Every structure is written in C-alpha cells, then in structure tokens.
Structure 1
Amino acid sequence: MGKPRSGTVGRRFTILYAAGFLGSAIVLLALTYLMSGGGQVTSVAPEQPPAGRSGLAAAEQQIRVLERQLSDVHAQQNHQLLVGSLIALVVMVGFSLLLGRVLAGRVLRPLRLITAATRRISAENLHQRLAVAGPVDEVKELADTVDSLLERLEVSFVAQRRFVGNAAHELRTPLATMRASLDVAVAKPEPAAQTIALAGRLRTELDRVDHLLEGFLVLARAQHGTLADRTRVSLGELAREALTVRAADIAAKTLTVDEEARANAWTRGSPALLSRMVENMVDNAIVHNQGGGWIRISTEHDDIEARLVVETGGRVLDQGQVDRLTEPFERLGADRTGPEGSSGLGLTIVAAIVAAHGGRLALLARPEGGLRVVAALPPAAGSQEGTP
C-alpha cells in the first residue's frame, strides 16, 4: 500500500474558503463601482466670458465649459476607482488564501488529532481511547465510533488470548493422561510385542500433537500477546545456540554448515520469542534440506536493521509458491513435508514473531536453487560489536 496523500482535504477547504471570500469581494467591489456615479465633484472656477459677446452667449459658453470639466473629473474618478478596485482585489486574493488556510486548519485540527491518536494504538495498547472532548458534532461522533470499535477489538483480543490459554491447558491434560496410560501398558510384565510397537507409534503421534500445540501457543503469543520482556538480544548468539542444539540432526543428514554469524547483530525484543524464531529458521533449513546439502547462516547489521540470513541449496523453486510459505501448513510439495516433528507452522511463527518486533521477513527463491530467508529487525540502540 502506498503512502497516503497528506493535505488533500486541507487544500480543498482552503480553495473553497478563498473562493467564497474572493467572490464576495468581487461582488462588493462591482456594486461599489456601479453605484459610484454619485461621487463628489471638485468645484471648478468659472472662466471669464470673452470680451465683446453678449451675456446670454457667454453664459451658454460657460455652461459647456463646465460640463466638459465635470465629465473629465468623472472620468478621472472612475479611472481611479477602477485602479483602486483592482489593487484591492489583488490584496483580497492573498488575504482570502491566508484566511482560508487558517480556517481549514482549525476545521481539520480535530481530525488530525484523531488520526494521530489512532495510529498510536496497536494490539499492545487497545485499552487506550481517543476520548475526544467538545460539543456533540460530526467529529465527536466519528471519535466515539472509533472508540466503540477499539472496545470491541479489545474484547475480541482478550477473549482470543483467554481461549488459546485455556485450550492449551485443557489439551495438555489428556495428552499427559495418554502418555501415562502408555507407560503403564508398557510397564506390565512381559508386554506383547504388538503393545510395545503400538505404544511407540502412539508416543510419536503424541509428540507431534504436543509440538503442534506448542506451535499454536507461540503463534498466538506472537500475534496477539504483549512483549513485556524486551531486552537486548544477539541474533548471532541465538544462531550458534540453535546450530549446537541441532548438531545431531545436521550430522545425520551430512549437511555442510557455513556459519558467519557475528555478535554485532543486536536487536531488542523478547528473548524467548526471538530464540524460537531463530530455531524455526534453522529447523526449516535442516528439515527441508536434501542429504549432503549445505546451509549458510550469516548476520548483518547497520543503523537501520539487524538481519539474520539463512540460505539452503536445492532445486529451483517458484517464487509465487515461496511467498505462501508463511501461511499455516503451507509447503512446497510433498518433498518439503518433512519428517516427524514438522508442524507446518515453522515459517508462520517466524513471520508472526518478526512482525511483533516491528521487522520484516523476506523469503526469496535463489536463482541457482534453494531458499534464502532473511529476518530483518530494528537494531538495538547504541549496539556495538562484541558488546552485550
């Protein structure tokens, strides 16, 4: 989505107000000009009649002279009035634009405050309200409507978090009971071979269900929870820890690991969620890799982002399908379904954790084959290489 255009309504209001004031000024000046025929005329001293003419002829000549002088005075006054009206009109143009902008700013100020307050409200502070004071008008009605919407969203988020938490506890109880029943059945003297085999298969399925349930909980926390435990975390250290934990799986697939994770990629966030994010990225690179393949893990850091990059080789992938890998249970064909323990939520959880920390996740199909996953997060303020 592109950046919204700013000031469009303000410009329209400014032009509207300016046009109204300017139109009124034009009408007023036109009426003044039309009614200016009754202006005062300066007195003109009569000329002396020419010598040798009769008194009546001299009077008529004097009247004609006075009429010409009066007409010249009227023309001069009309010209001065026209010039003055044009100057006043130019002044009114500038004054109308200035006054229109001021009035438009005052009219739109409550809307700007509502917009700024709405932008500050997120999933972490849905309890906040606009609480616009003032007369009951269209602006206050809009603010009250937004407050009502935020209240409904808050109730929905709280109910969803409560449901996820309660469902997790309720589901883990029967899982624990099933595990205990299997242990009792296997612990009996001389259990049948079929019982032991069935118990093994059931334990495997229970582990997968437990892993899936844990994934749902982490996903719910990342999407709708609060990050109250924010602290400085090194992405490089988390990557090395994840590789150490999965060393046996890497050896089982004879994967070659090129690790260039440095300790300078620091970010700020929940250590538990960020650790799970890195673990899922490493797990995805191991589980969906071919035997004898390779993994490259590196970190990058600048003033804008701290990045963790995980690359794998393999066949050439379709970028359109890769873009859908952050959707739950989305996979690239049967060859990427993975063995036991793959819940289909790995990259979905990664995307949710990255979004919860204000970062971005990029999934890129490498032209030469394989996948490149980049988790870019805001850097920790004042981070320096090698400092915790």
Structure 2
Amino acid sequence: MSRRGTVVRRFTLLYAAGFLGSGIVLLVLTYVMSGVRLSAPAPGNVPAPAPSGSSEADAAQRQIRELRDRLAEVQGQEQHRWVVASLVALVVTALLSLLLGRLLARRVLRPLRLITAATRRISAENLHERLDVTGPADEVKELADTVDDLLERLEASFAAQRRFVGNASHELRTPLATIRASLDVAVAKPEPAAQALALAGRVRTELDRVDHLLDGFLLLARAQHGAFSDRTLVSLGELAREALDDRAPDIAAKSLALDAEVGAAAWTRGSAVLLSRMVRNVVDNAITHNHANGWIRITADGDGSGARLVVETGGDVLEQSRVDRLGQPFERLGTARTGPEGSSGLGLSIVSAIVAAHGGRLVLRARPEGGLRVAVTLASAVPEGAAARTGVPV
C-alpha cells in the first residue's frame, strides 16, 4: 500500500466506522422496539372465550386460532421485509459513509497538503518564500506559523553565513597582498641568502593556494546569492572548448585520451563568468582526479528540454554514497583534507552552487566500471542571429 494518502484513508475509515456503528445501533434498537410492539396483543382485541361445550364456542375458538395464525404470518412477512429493507439501507449507508468520510477527511487535511507542497518548494535558494496560511487560529494555522518562523530563522542564518564568507574572503585579500609585497621586497634586496629565497618560494606557493581558496569562497558566495546582473546567452559547447584548450598541456602531460562531442545547440542564459567557471571546474576535476593514460569523454548538446554538459572519466570504482557528498565544500573522495596540488576542495561545490543559482540540475554518478560521471542540465535558450554569441547580451 502506498504511503500517499494513508492519513486520508485512516480518517475515512474512522468516520465511516463511527457512522456505521451509530446506524447499526439505531437499527437494532428499532428492531427490538418494533418486535415488542408487534408481539404484544393490544388489550380488548382478543374476544372473550365462549362457554365450553357449544358449537358456537368451538367455531369461535377456530376463528381466533386462524386470526392468530394470519397475524403471525403477517408479522413474519413484515419482519422479513423490514430486515431486508434494513440490510439494503445499511449497505447504502455504508457507501454513503465512505464517500462522506473521504470528503470530510480531504477537507480536514487540505491545509496540511498545502503546507506540505509549499514546504517542498522551498529550498536554500528561495528561503524568502513563506506559507502564509490563512484561516482560523487552530492547530493547522499554528503549525504553518511555526514553519514560517523556522524558515525566517533559516533565511537569516544562511544570509549571515554567506555575508561572512564573502566579507571574510574580501578582507583577507589585503593582508595577503601585504605579505606578498613584503616577500617581493625581501627577495629584491642585493644578494639575498639562499635560505631566504627558498623560504620565500615556499611562502609564495602557500599564498597562491590561499589566494585560490579565497577566489573559490568569493565565487561560491556570489553563486549562492543568486542575483546576476550579467545574464547573457552562453554556449556550453564553446565554454567546454575553451576550457579544454586551456588545459591541453595538462591533458598531454597525463597522456589522457580525450573524446569531445560539443555541439552548437547547447545554449543557455545566465552569468557568463559563473558558467565559464562552472565548466572549467568540471573539466579541471576530470583532469586533476584522473589516472595517467586515462580517458575523458565530454558531451555538450541541447534541445527544447534543456542544455546539457556531461563529463565522464575512468578510474577506480567509487561508492555512490560518497560521490553524493562531493557537492559540499571540502568534500573529497580521499580521507585527507588536502587534495592534489592546487585543489581547494571547492570545485564541485562551486559547480553545484552555480547550477542551483541558474535553476539547473547537477547529477553526480559513480560509474559501475569505475570513474565518475558529472551531468549538468540548464534551461535552454535560443540564440537570435549574430547576437547569439557567448557573453553578448541579448
């Protein structure tokens, strides 16, 4: 039995059982009372017995017996018809009680269904929405108001978190720039010590990693905010070709076999900067977390149902439960928090945030043969003439 509508069925059966129980009790009481009334002879209706020994008395007795037999037969027929009519009425009452019970149950539970549907529509990207249930101040209204209060607290918490990430990332750039400038000044001195040069090189490398991490934080905060003023027509296929061209040396260094099928129909509308970063992150993830002499398959196409970008790689067999967490910040398949060189652990989480901000869908699947499949689906857009170029507003 499906769980959907279980409460409705429960209320329906409860209402029907109560209604039928009351009807059965009423019928039993009516039957008992009518039986007592029919079986008790009315006073004065039975003739007085005639003196015994006379023919008239015998005839009178026979008439009395015949009348009693007829009366008993009539009573039996009437009781039989009454029982049949009662059973028919009981069946009709059962059907009506089930129908009435279902209507009442659906009517009572309608506010709860509306609350459930509205709550399902609300996610981290639209926490500003509220249930706004109207009606009398009953338990359902109290539940809806409680959910609205919870959503308001969640919205404030998410907004504070995003502001903190964005502000902290922005403010940290100043001391990082100061440290980098100090290193350059120290290294630029005449005849710097070899130890100082080595230390400066290591510090500069770590500064680059921190700067890369801050860039990821800022981009993640912007994607999660979801307000873009630079929405343009963008080709996912063109972005994929640009990302592959930029990473061609790394692909050659790992001897990766590349199979790219990027069509011209993968058009969507959104932030060109964010979508470019999304595609680059997916491509970077496929290269960075790939084995030497491995392979990469990239497909970009689209139709009326959406613009799609699919990136597949070979490799070890992965657990789907762990792959599902890759869309969260700092989640990696390895046990260590430090990933490959240059990896901040924010790559796929940024992809997830950008896709969600554009109203798209990201699906991460562990391939049964080994490796990972990343599929991005965004709303399709139709370019108009020569203006339909990547990054050109329409």
TM over 0.5: yes
Deviation for aligned residue 1:217: 2.6
Relative distance call for 1:28 and 1:135 in structure 2 (3 A) is: same
- Indicate conservation of the 8 Å contact 2:258/2:296, yes or no: yes
Deviation for aligned residue 1:192: 5.0
* SS at 1:57 equivalent: helix
Whether 2:18 is the aligned partner of 1:20: answer yes
Relative distance call for 1:353 and 1:34 in structure 2 (3 A) is: same
Deviation sequence 1:207-234 (CA, Å, 0-9, x none): 1110011112333444x42254555532
Relative distance call for 1:331 and 1:57 in structure 2 (3 A) is: closer
Q: Which residue of 2 aligns with 1:49?
A: none
- Write the distance in 1 (CA, Å) between the matches of 2:372 and 2:114: 42
Q: Could you tell me which amino acid in structure 1 is paired with residue 214 of structure 2?
A: L
Q: Could you tell me which amino acid in structure 2 is paired with residue 377 of structure 1?
A: T
- Write the distance in 1 (CA, Å) between the matches of 2:339 and 2:137: 59
Relative distance call for 1:92 and 1:239 in structure 2 (3 A) is: same
Q: Which residue of 2 aligns with 1:208?
A: 209
How do 1:367-378 residues align onto structure 2 when only pairs under 5 Å count? 367=369, 371-378=371-378
- Write the distance in 2 (CA, Å) between the matches of 1:68 and 1:329: 94
Whether 2:237 is the aligned partner of 1:239: answer no
- Indicate conservation of the 8 Å contact 1:295/1:310, yes or no: yes
Q: Could you tell me which amino acid in structure 2 is paired with residue 180 of structure 1?
A: A
Structure 1, unpaired ranges of 5+:
47-52
- Write the distance in 2 (CA, Å) between the matches of 1:333 and 1:162: 30
- Indicate conservation of the 8 Å contact 2:307/2:379, yes or no: yes
Relative distance call for 1:85 and 1:231 in structure 2 (3 A) is: farther
| Percent of paired sites with the same residue | 64
Q: Which residue of 2 aligns with 1:101?
A: 102
Deviation for aligned residue 1:354: 3.8
How do 1:1-388 residues align onto structure 2 when only pairs under 5 Å count? 5-37=3-35, 38=37, 54-188=55-189, 191=192, 194-222=195-223, 224-228=224-228, 232-250=233-251, 255-289=256-290, 294-301=295-302, 304=305, 306-312=307-313, 316-319=316-319, 323=323, 325-326=326-327, 328=330, 330-332=332-334, 337-339=339-341, 341-356=342-357, 357-365=359-367, 367=369, 371-380=371-380
Relative distance call for 1:291 and 1:66 in structure 2 (3 A) is: closer
* SS at 1:211 equivalent: helix
Deviation for aligned residue 1:175: 0.9
Deviation sequence 1:246-299 (CA, Å, 0-9, x none): 344445556554322112223454433322121112222333445665543222
Relative distance call for 1:165 and 1:348 in structure 2 (3 A) is: closer
Deviation sequence 1:83-105 (CA, Å, 0-9, x none): 11111111101110111011111
- Write the distance in 2 (CA, Å) between the matches of 1:35 and 1:177: 102
- Indicate conservation of the 8 Å contact 1:234/1:265, yes or no: yes
Deviation for aligned residue 1:194: 4.8
- Indicate conservation of the 8 Å contact 1:265/1:379, yes or no: no
Deviation for aligned residue 1:9: 0.4
- Indicate conservation of the 8 Å contact 2:237/2:262, yes or no: yes
Deviation for aligned residue 1:319: 4.1
- Indicate conservation of the 8 Å contact 2:282/2:374, yes or no: no
- Bigger drift between 229-238 and 29-38 goes to 229-238
- Indicate conservation of the 8 Å contact 1:227/1:269, yes or no: no
Deviation for aligned residue 1:171: 0.7
Relative distance call for 1:381 and 1:283 in structure 2 (3 A) is: closer
Q: Could you tell me which amino acid in structure 1 is paired with residue 11 of structure 2?
A: F
Q: Could you tell me which amino acid in structure 1 is paired with residue 149 of structure 2?
A: S
Deviation sequence 1:302-332 (CA, Å, 0-9, x none): 565543233445x544446972655515254
- Write the distance in 1 (CA, Å) between the matches of 2:210 and 2:382: 42
Relative distance call for 1:366 and 1:217 in structure 2 (3 A) is: farther
- Indicate conservation of the 8 Å contact 1:316/1:365, yes or no: no
Q: Could you tell me which amino acid in structure 2 is paired with residue 217 of structure 1?
A: L
Relative distance call for 1:22 and 1:293 in structure 2 (3 A) is: closer
Relative distance call for 1:105 and 1:218 in structure 2 (3 A) is: same
Relative distance call for 1:151 and 1:308 in structure 2 (3 A) is: same
- Indicate conservation of the 8 Å contact 1:361/1:375, yes or no: yes
Relative distance call for 1:113 and 1:196 in structure 2 (3 A) is: same
- Write the distance in 1 (CA, Å) between the matches of 2:5 and 2:293: 59
Give the TM-score of the pair, scaled to structure 2: 0.81
Relative distance call for 1:137 and 1:234 in structure 2 (3 A) is: same
Give the TM-score of the pair, scaled to structure 1: 0.82
Deviation sequence 1:115-157 (CA, Å, 0-9, x none): 1222222223322222222222211121121111111101101
Q: Could you tell me which amino acid in structure 1 is paired with residue 350 of structure 2?
A: I
- Indicate conservation of the 8 Å contact 1:307/1:374, yes or no: no
- Indicate conservation of the 8 Å contact 2:165/2:218, yes or no: yes
